Structure 1
Amino acid sequence: MVKVHFLGAAGTVTGSKIFIETQEINILVDCGVFQGKKELREINWLPLPIDVTSIDIVLLTHGHLDHTGYLPRLVTSGFNGSIIGTAPTLAIARIILMDSAKIHEEEAEKANKDGYSRHNPAKPFYTLKDVERTIALFKEVEAEQAISLSDHIKSTFRPNGHILGSTFIEVDIFEKKFVFSGDIGRPKDILLDAPIKPKWADFLFMESTYGNKIHPKEEVEELLIKLVKKTIMERGTLLIPSFAVERLQSLMYRLWKLYDKNKIPNIPIFMDSPMGNNVLNLFEKFPNWHKLSPKEYRAMCRHITIIDSFRKTWETIDDPRPKIVIAGSGMVTGGRILTYLTKLIDKRNTNILLVGYMAEGTRGRKLLEGIGEVKIYGRYYKVKATIYHDESLSAHADQAELLSWISSIKNIPEQVFLVHGESEALDAFSTKIKEQHNWSVKIPDLFETSTLVF
């Protein structure tokens, strides 16, 4: 008998946490924070409805915040086991957690100084010291190498695209194969190899972010060319909020290639993301995890100005030239992009390109929905900038690609659990799987527990 507790990404996209109780060992697959809507974010501050000290091992599919961002809280709550992932995943997690802790500390300090928090005093979600304690528990695993977790339980990490180091995880529990998809990447990603497909799954835990959508035919090059020309003509700024991991490097590569092919002029391009810069360095450190050649990597980095201080952020804002700025965060929830927005979102010659998925409740989603003013650091700013959106650059597989990913499974799974999706996506993808495969599909609720008997 195995008990499965859905502690996150159930009925929603973020906060991935699946707790597996077995008679030999207890495993937590991913350990992310909730993002987006306020009621979800507030769950982050609540104790988990399990005994944290009973968790023996954490397995990480990849390094994104919604899959790793709760780790320091787990450690401060009593967890002291191993945190296992591929080398790039742990390197990315380290970067993201350090950056996140710094932001939490700075925001708590600012809230206390300016008095805009309802908490007195405002406290950081976790600190840099908490992250250091967490990183000490990291343990690297090679992709495709089965590792023993206990006498009758082993795990294997298999590349699935999405971001550098990302994997799906097969956990063999008493001869039953549990497959945790993580976030599945695109088969034709410009930087990453196509995801490996699972061959067998007795119990499948499947992401459904785009379970109800087909990504539009990729026309991002045409859109970038159009926006660069418009920005130059208006002598304005093109702001591209971007996730620091993969998305930012992909945008850098595309803009460099457009220039290299003489499709756009030599407009100044700035990359302003300390975390993004750190992740960029990982592309040099882990060449076997991506397609970019050393020559292309060096040429791209030479072409784009990398901002390495907050002082240069302000210099870039004041730079009168038409320019492109890529900065985190991707859903406009934090990061350097907010500083640019406070000075540029109320200008009609500012263009903002939102790329990929925007979760409910985020500033990115609100801008997409046409909000007239946006709240940043406790103040409201008129939105006079023109907002554009492109979903073709998403690092998540769409419905057809998700269905293709499970098409190589040879057996009939005893149960498919759909997670990591909003309700419409979950319902649509569930219907598709039943139509095509006639498999048993369940959409668990948040904090639901399923008992699997075999």
Structure 2
Amino acid sequence: MKIKFIGGAGTVTGSKTLVESNGIRILIDCGQFQGIKTLRELNWQPLPILPSTIDFVLLTHGHLDHCGWLPILVHQGFKGKIYCTSPTKEITKLILLDSAKIQEEESNKANEGHYSKHEIAQPLYDVKQAEAVFPLFRVIKTNEPIPLDAEISAVYTNAGHIIGACSIELNLENKTLVFSGDIGRDNDVLMYPPTKPKKADYLFLESTYGNRLHPETDAKDELEIYINNTVQKGGTIIIPSFAVERAQTIMYLLWQLKEEGKIPNIPYIIDTPMGISALEIFANNQKWHKLPEQHYIGMCKMFSMISDYQETIDAIYNKSPKVVIAASGMITGGRVLSYLERYIGLPETTVIIIGYQAEGTRGRKLLEGEKEIKIRGKYYPVLANIFEIQALSAHGDQKDLLNWLSALENKPTKVFLVHGENEPADELRLKITEKYGFDCAVPLMGQEVEL
């Protein structure tokens, strides 16, 4: 059996792990690279194997860094089955369509504004190519074996993180391989705690926050302070957010604050068509989250939901204080860019960063104190107040990741730490070795190992 780390090794994006066994090829996740240019350029490179030779894709969840390369995989010849949970199927469809539309829009703007380095800017994939993925989805039930081949089966178990997210147990060649996917937090606002694996011969564990402990601070309290301080100055609060789970979490916390009379009666806007569509997925999948139906209804009534871009323009040019939740979460694209073009240079503005910011993204640069940021070929001075609420991360921290290993009834032959930058992954390696005595490795991008 061979394992090849095609993506998500030494970085938190582009997750792709290839498993080869007895002539069967299985790709765990098929993510898009984000962040620094050298990573983004990998999206344009061919896989080390022909997509037409891959038999199955097993998706852990629907975030772009785990599903965003599927349109290219299909366009280049993949004709197999894509297994995932029902919420993951719906979220992936939303995210791929949104990604394709944004790429089409950005390439058109680059061509019109002549700020692309290419003679003609092209999208990575278009809407038609995204839609070509959909017929290949196969929805599975959790905790039930899925036969992939006569001697290969997979079992999906809840991973928390976002709605529909799962870890995957792969049984083949008398071995059990466990792929964590992204592990949620044990005390998440909306998601249930992740299910811990009980058996694993080889374990592939994410390490996004492998060197970090989330603060014990209360995210609601922080939101209350930032919003009230900004409104007193007559400013606008912009919250760049991932459209799935994070946007809904923020909406829920803001609704709670409003119900408690702790934040003012100003416009509260969610401006992400995908985030609005994701609300429907929450409504249709009650068993996957902790949000009571009555709270969901009240929360939705509180927000102005913007889908039409003209409404975005109207909101941007409305000078009165407001709270805007807009995608994307790492400020790599989407409608949040339009808000920042107008507001990032105003000292009364507050930008609240609420999720992981990959290396090279605008979100990471703002957190690192950049004095100006580039948006659509133009530089804007950063005069806005930039704050981070770490307590809202949807990723488990070092403590959560160590705890996820605590139910193992056997000692794995090896633990591979993936989906993390080198420093967090290596620190987690040391912690796992110290606590459990497991043999850990941090694989390199492109590395192949035999099991």
- Listed one character per residue, the Cα deviations across residues 365-416 of structure 1 (whole Å, up to 9, x for unaligned) are 1111111111000001111101101111000000011000011011010111
2:392 partner SS: coil
CA distance in 2, matches of 1:75, 1:111: 26
Give the TM-score of the pair, scaled to structure 1: 0.98
* Aligned match of 1:214: 213
CA distance in 2, matches of 1:126, 1:318: 32
Matched, 1:275 2:274: yes
Tell me how far 1:108 sits from its aligned partner: 1.4
Percent of aligned pairs with the same residue?
49
Map 1:315-330 → 2, pairs under 5 A: 315-330=314-329
* Aligned match of 1:50: 49
CA distance in 2, matches of 1:183, 1:354: 20
CA distance in 1, matches of 2:111, 2:146: 47
Tell me how far 1:132 sits from its aligned partner: 1.2
- AA of the residue aligned to 1:140: V
Tell me how far 1:260 sits from its aligned partner: 0.7
- AA of the residue aligned to 1:51: L
* Aligned match of 1:442: 441
Tell me how far 1:174 sits from its aligned partner: 2.2
2:133 partner SS: helix
CA distance in 2, matches of 1:135, 1:117: 31
1:6 partner SS: strand
* Aligned match of 1:255: 254
- Listed one character per residue, the Cα deviations across residues 231-280 of structure 1 (whole Å, up to 9, x for unaligned) are 22111101110000100000000000011112222221100001111111
* Aligned match of 1:102: 101
* Aligned match of 2:238: 239
Tell me how far 1:218 sits from its aligned partner: 3.0
Decide whether the 8 Å contact of 1:198 with 1:408 is kept in 2: yes
* Aligned match of 2:5: 6
* Aligned match of 2:294: 295
1:392 partner SS: helix
- AA of the residue aligned to 1:157: Y
Aligned length: 451
* Aligned match of 1:198: 197
- Listed one character per residue, the Cα deviations across residues 44-87 of structure 1 (whole Å, up to 9, x for unaligned) are 10111112211000000000000000000001111000011000
Listed as ranges, the gaps of 5+ residues in structure 1 are none
- AA of the residue aligned to 1:240: I
* Aligned match of 2:365: 366
Listed as ranges, the gaps of 5+ residues in structure 2 are none
Matched, 1:399 2:410: no
1:43 partner SS: helix
Decide whether the 8 Å contact of 1:24 with 1:150 is kept in 2: no
- Listed one character per residue, the Cα deviations across residues 334-375 of structure 1 (whole Å, up to 9, x for unaligned) are 111100011111111101111121111000011111111110
- Listed one character per residue, the Cα deviations across residues 4-43 of structure 1 (whole Å, up to 9, x for unaligned) are 0100010111110000000042100000011111100001
Query: Cα RMSD (Å) of the superposition?
Result: 0.9
- AA of the residue aligned to 2:20: E
Matched, 1:18 2:11: no
- Listed one character per residue, the Cα deviations across residues 277-298 of structure 1 (whole Å, up to 9, x for unaligned) are 1111111111111111211111
* Aligned match of 1:305: 304
Decide whether the 8 Å contact of 1:231 with 1:323 is kept in 2: no
* Aligned match of 1:61: 60
Give the TM-score of the pair, scaled to structure 2: 0.99
Decide whether the 8 Å contact of 1:159 with 1:168 is kept in 2: yes
CA distance in 1, matches of 2:227, 2:96: 34
* Aligned match of 1:427: 426
* Aligned match of 1:79: 78
